[in-house]
Chain A
Amino acid sequence: MEYNLLFSFKLSLFVAGISTILVLITGVGLAYLLVYQRPRGHQLLDIALTLPLVLPPTIIGYYLITLLGRNGVIGQLVLDLTGDSLMFTPQAAICAAYVVSLPLMVKSCKSSFESIDPHLLAASYSLGHNRFSTFWRITLPLARPGILAGVILSFARALGEFGATLMVAGNIPGKTDTVPLAIYSLVESGQFVRANQVVLIYTLIAAIFLLISNILGGRNLRAWKGEQR
C-alpha cells in the first residue's frame, strides 16, 4: 500500500491542532499589543503579520526554508539544541501552518477588541480593576465571538495548507504527508477516484469541527441578547 491515508488524516489533525493552539495564544497576545499598547513600529508589525495573507504559499515556503533550514536563524538553533534538522519534519509542517493562519487570528481578534466600547473599560478601571483583571473579565469574554471565529478560520486554513508545507516539510509518505499533500500525490498519479474520496472525508471532518465550534460559540450570545431562560 503506497498510501497510508489513516496516517495522513491523523497527521493533518495533529498539525492543524497544535498550530491552532499556538496561534490562539500568540494571536490574542499580538492583537492585544496592537490595539491597546501600540508600541513604536506597531504599524510595521501589523503589516508583517498581514503579509502571509497576500503572499503565495510557495513564496512563504521559500522564506520559511531560509529561516528553518540548516543555514537559517531558527534552523541553526534547533540543530544546536536537538542535533536534528527542523526541515522535513512534522514540526516544520506546524511552522508552515502557524505562519499562514496567524494573520487570520490576529485580524479577527483585533477587530473584536476594537469593537468593544471603551466606556466599558473605563468603567472597569473606575471600579478598581487593573489592566489584567479588566482584560480577563471584560475584554476577553466580550471578544469571545471574534476569537472563536479566529480559531475556526485558523484551524481551517491549517488543515488546507499545502504550498508552504510542501517546501519546508516535504512530501514524505509516512512522515510529513498531510492530507492536502496526499491528495496532490493521488491526483498527480491519476488516481482521481481515490482523491475524491479523500477530499470528501476530509471535508466532512472539517465540517464536524466547525459545527462543534459554532455550537460552543453561539450559546453565550443568545443569553446576552436578551433571551431569558
Chain B
Amino acid sequence: MIAIIDYDAGNIRSVGNALERLGAAYELTADPARILAADKVILPGVGNAAKAMENLRERGLCQLVRDLRRPVLGICVGMQLMCRDSEEGPVEGLGIFDAHVRRFAEAPDIKVPHMGWNALGNLDSKLFRDVDSGSFVYFVHSYYAGLGPDTIATCRHGGTLFSAALKYENFYGTQFHPEKSGSVGAAILRNFLAL
C-alpha cells in the first residue's frame, strides 16, 4: 500500500490517478498510523511552500516524515518542503535534503513560473533506470532547489541549472510532476514503486 499524504496542498488527486493507471494500490491519508504502515509514502504538493509547511505542521506530520525509513517521494512543493528552507515565505523545511530553495530571477524570455516540458540531465539514481538523459518532463514552479550533494538530476531554465531531483538515503524528491509527464513520468513512478 502506498500512502499519499493528504494535507490540503493543492491538486493531489492526480498522483493517485497516476498510481491507479500503474495498477498500484494507494490511499490518501493524514493519519500517522496509516502513513507508518505504508510500504511507500508520497508527499505531493502544489501551491505556496509556507502554507504547505504550516498544513504539514498542523497535522503533526513533520517529525513523522523525517523518521520514515521506507522509500519516500516528495513531488514539486513536497520536494521543496524536504529541503533546508525556502525563500517562499521564507520558511524552514524538513531539512532532509541539503539544499536551499530560491526564486527564479525573471529575465526577457525567461518566464516565471517555469512551466512546461523541459529536459533532464545528469541522471544519477535508480529512480531514472531506463530513462534517457534529455528526456522531457513536466514542470510548474517559481522556486527551485540549487545543486548540491543530494542532486540526482538537473534541468536548465535560462541561466539557472537547478536540481530536477534529489535523493538522501530513502528519501527522493522530484521538482517535476512525474504524474503529468507522460510515459517518462510513468517509468519514473514505476522505478519508485520498485524500490
Is chain B found bound to chain A in the same assembly?
no
